[in-house]
Structure 1
């Protein structure tokens, strides 16, 4: 049996729409992963800065004694 043209068009539209939704969700997940990586990098930088401050304090303390 040959499907009607309108059915083919509607299937195409539905599939295309679903594909767009899935693709947009994948993009959103990727953006979220990137934001999480950026937050992790920022935490690492903060941690490094804090360590450097601690080292400086330690050096200052050693110089004073």
Structure 2
């Protein structure tokens, strides 16, 4: 983060400008942090979804194996 402008050492007109600049900088940082968080959350969600799909696929495979075995046993 850039150094905050020292507000005490300025005239009133400059004080207002500095306050605005500082607020803008803060808002920028906040937006960046939010975007980063959102990106990470998206990644984590995608990972979780992948894992879920894998687990489902494994279960489905196991089921089909069982079904095949059951058919064999019936004959």
TM range (shorter): 0.7 to 0.9
CA RMSD of aligned residues (A): 1.8
- Secondary structure in 2 aligned to 1:55? helix
Q: Which has the higher contact order (CA 8 A, sep 6+)?
A: 2
Structure exhibiting the larger radius of gyration computed from Cα positions: 2
Residue pairs, 1:18-29, within 5 angstroms: 18-29=27-38
Normalised to the residue count of structure 1, the TM-score between the two structures is: 0.76
Q: 1:33 aligns with which of 9, 19, 42?
A: 42
Count of residues in Structure 1 that have an aligned counterpart in Structure 2: 63
Q: 1:42 aligns with which of 44, 51, 58?
A: 51
1:16 paired with 2:25, answer: yes
Structure with greater helix share of residues: 1
